[in-house]
Amino acid sequence: MTKVNHASSRVTPLLELRLFYYDFLRRTFLMEPTKDFLVFVKNSMIAPDFPLASESGMILEGVQQIKDYLSKNDIQSETVCNDLHWEYTRLFIGPYQLPSPPWESTYLNEERLLFQKETLAVRKAYLKYSFLPVEFGHEADDHLGLELDFMFRLSELCLEDNDQNGVDLRQLLIDQKSFLEEHLLQWVPKFSQDMIQHAETDFYQGMGKILQGFLTLDLEALLELLTINS
């Protein structure tokens, strides 16, 4: 899938790992877990070392918890699927008070409202690359899953033929760094704390840790990539 120009070929492995992470995370947070998704997670955990896990204590802990969970629970069983499905629902959908609402605006404004100025700022960032939520206007743009999907899309662009599509790799990296700093890292630390505290399964506790660990790590990665591409 990737034709990388000469200048960036050295960084391709890191760009690929970033793509993997954002894919992994967006799938985790966009919607309730499906069986396919759980198989995907299990497969990702088979390899002896989870990418870059040694670089972050948080990721390491998270991976270990998920591995523990998967060793004790059979993801083919209905009960396990239902448990995880309910856990996602309880944490991120409702109907009761959400212990960790997955929207940026609920963390950044005092009254924890949806569709606020934060939402519009996020939308603006998406629109620079002509992205909008499929459920635009109905779903708030600053849902964690959507923000991660956005990072995934830009990571994908980073690996595409930059000469042909006219997007400058450096600009893509700058925009990702800004989005990470101005949005995700503004609220995810608090969100993941809430999530880790309130999740009842090792599975979602672990996911909270991987999320937090990776976003912190990705800022480092972007800084490094920008130094190379300056």
Q: How far is the CB of 2 from other proteins (least distance, A)?
A: 7
Token pair of 107, please?
A: 């963390």
Stretch that binds other proteins, among 80-88, 93-101, 148-156, 193-201 (CB under 8 A): 148-156
Look at residues 62, 79, 39 and name the one whose alpha carbon lies nearest to residue 203: 62
166 in contact with other proteins (CB under 8 A): no
Handedness of CA 52, 142, 85, 100 (dihedral sign): positive
Closest approach of other proteins to the CB of residue 225, in Å: 7
In whole angstroms, what is the distance from residue 55 CA to residue 80 CA?
31
Q: Are 145 and 153 in contact (CB under 8 A)?
A: no
Q: How far, in Å, CA of 58 to CA of 153, rounded? A: 25
Q: Is 93 in the site for other proteins (CB under 8 A)?
A: no
Whether the CA torsion 207, 209, 211, 214 is positive or negative: it is negative
Q: CB–CB of 8/21 below 8 Å?
A: no
**Quick one: tokens of 147?**
């923000």
Q: What is the nearest approach in angstroms of other proteins to the Cβ of residue 98? A: 18
Site string for other proteins, 47-86 (x = CB under 8 A): xxx-xx-xx-------------------------------
Task: Give 54 or 197: the residue with its C-beta nearer to other proteins.
Answer: 54
Q: Which is nearer to other proteins, 84 or 196 (CB)?
A: 84
Q: Is 164 in the site for other proteins (CB under 8 A)?
A: no
- Cis (ω within 30 of 0) for the bond into 95? yes
Cβ neighbours of residue 221 under 8 Å, at least 6 residues apart? 14, 18
Q: Does 150 bind other proteins (CB under 8 A)?
A: yes
Q: How far apart are CA 111 and CA 226, in angstroms?
A: 37
User: What minimum distance in Å lies between the beta carbon of 182 and other proteins?
Assistant: 17
Which position among 64, 173, 220, 226 is part of the footprint of other proteins (CB under 8 A)? 220
Does 127 sit near other proteins (CB under 8 A)?
yes
Binding region for other proteins (CB under 8 A): 1-2, 10-11, 13-14, 16-17, 19-20, 23-24, 26-27, 30-31, 34, 36-37, 39-40, 43-44, 47-49, 51-52, 54-55, 115, 123-124, 126-127, 130-137, 139, 145-146, 149-150, 153, 159, 217, 220-221, 224-225, 228
